[in-house]
């Protein structure tokens, strides 16, 4: 039986992961900065701020039976790269450094428990930039290639690393955007099915698949829609 830790489990995709894992019979540590905001039954709520090394270490000590780590916690400050440096650093601190810190802490735990798997929730914005998303896109690009590198570093202990890419999900982060959105429950199901199938990447929606395919083409074709004076 799987024992999973999900970061950012109090809402959105993280909550959907935790709920579906419980439904599928897993033991679940639902981690959040404020665990009192986790409203799910059948989970163990734990306090975790992934930007706090001491909190990450404590979580790895507490959840010593984990064989599935889902790095879902993330932020988007909406900061352009020529904007406020504090906003840029905040995106990178959570989406790259915090995620890496969590993997580093749990890698020995996973090794002791047979290898298991790491899921890093990234974005279609790993592969492109959109006006107003500069720092978020950079942080998610770093998150994506971090998964590629960790996959190589963890293969020796039998740990699978799966990177997740999607466009908009129906979460608080995308609340102000009037575009089609994927139900978080659908995201969670596709990802967990992908992990079970041994997928190295889960590309959740057609938009993300289109963006990934565009990388093999002349970038002028893709960015023509944004490069207007």
**What is the H or E stretch that residue 18 is in?**
helix 12-23
Q: Three-state SS for 210?
A: helix
Q: What is the largest distance, in Å, between two alpha-carbon atoms of the chain?
A: 56
Q: Is 140 a catalytic residue?
A: yes
Catalytic residue among 29, 140, 217, 223: 140
How far apart (Å, rounded) are the C-alpha atoms in residues 135 and 138? 5
Q: 141 vs 73, 120, 122, 126, CA distance in Å?
A: 16, 12, 8, 4
Centroid of chain to Cα 159: 17
How far apart (Å, rounded) are the C-alpha atoms in residues 191 and 35? 24
Joined tokens for residue 36: 């009192």
Sequence-ordered list of residues with C-beta below 8 angstroms from that of 121, at least 6 positions apart, any chain = 13, 70, 71, 72, 74, 164, 191
How far apart (Å, rounded) are the C-alpha atoms in residues 2 and 66? 8
Phi-psi region of 158 (alpha: psi -120 to 50; beta: other; left: phi over 0): left
Q: Is 212 a catalytic residue?
A: no
How far apart (Å, rounded) are the C-alpha atoms in residues 61 and 74? 22
Q: Three-state SS for 74?
A: coil
Catalytic residue among 136, 181, 212, 223: 136
Active site residues: 136, 140
């Amino acid at each position: 039986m799987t024992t999973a830790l999900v970061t950012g489990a109090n809402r959105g995709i993280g909550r959907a992961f935790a709920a579906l894992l419980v439904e599928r019979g897993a033991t679940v540590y639902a981690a959040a900065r404020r665990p009192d905001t986790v409203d799910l039954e059948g989970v163990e709520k734990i306090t975790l701020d992934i930007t706090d090394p001491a909190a990450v270490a404590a979580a790895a000590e507490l959840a010593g039976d984990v064989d599935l780590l889902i790095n879902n916690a993330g932020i988007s400050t909406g900061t352009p790269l020529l904007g406020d440096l504090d906003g840029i650093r905040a995106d990178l601190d959570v989406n790259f450094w915090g995620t890496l810190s969590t993997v580093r802490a749990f890698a020995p735990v996973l090794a002791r428990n047979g290898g298991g798997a790491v899921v890093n929730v990234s974005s279609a914005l790993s592969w492109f930039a959109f006006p107003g998303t500069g720092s978020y896109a950079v942080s998610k690009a770093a998150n994506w290639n971090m998964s590629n590198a960790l996959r190589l570093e963890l293969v020796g202990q039998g740990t699978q690393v799966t990177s997740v890419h999607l466009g908009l999900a129906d979460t608080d982060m995308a609340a102000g955007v009037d575009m089609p959105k994927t139900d978080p429950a659908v995201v969670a199901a596709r990802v967990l099915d992908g992990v079970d199938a041994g997928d190295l990447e889960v590309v959740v929606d057609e938009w993300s698949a289109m963006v990934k395919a565009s990388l093999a083409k002349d970038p002028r074709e893709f960015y023509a829609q944004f490069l207007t004076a």
